[in-house]
Structure 1
Amino acid sequence: MAKQNGATVKYVPLRPRGKYPGMSKDWAVDIQELEAAVSKNTKMLVINTPNNPFGKVCIKVIMVWIRAYRLLLV
């Protein structure tokens, strides 16, 4: 729907964390990767939480970051 209205869609996936990423059960958004995806033209951020199939729930750090950028959260 966003693309149909002329928006540019960027995806920032969850990444495995820990000493052995291939075996990690802890997945998270890389803040640096998220910051790289945001520009002065960014108006809205869509977060799928809890994220499936991992069941990851968006943590407070991400929510604080979103507020600092004054983005509409969907």
Structure 2
Amino acid sequence: LVLKYQHKILGLIVRFVHDAQEAQDVAQEAFIKAYRALGNFRGDSAFYTWLYRIAINTAKNHLVARGRRPPDSDVTA
């Protein structure tokens, strides 16, 4: 799971948080959330789409928790 998608997810998150080390922490958190929620994946969309959404939401939540405002619109892949 991580090996296949780590570069895409990390690249996505770094565009939100603008710090490579911080992005690695957020990406790790996103992968943990995805792993814990694997049983909830219904297959209505591609797996990467589901993982992408988890990563975006995790990055936005991280920014809010740090007192920073997330971007108004999603970053395109």
**TM-score of the aligned structures, taking structure 1 as reference length:** 0.28
Task: Say which one has the larger Rg.
Answer: 1
Q: Which structure has the highest helix share of the two?
A: 2
Q: Which structure has the highest strand share of the two?
A: 1
**Structure of greater relative contact order (alpha carbons < 8 Å, 6+ residues apart):** 2
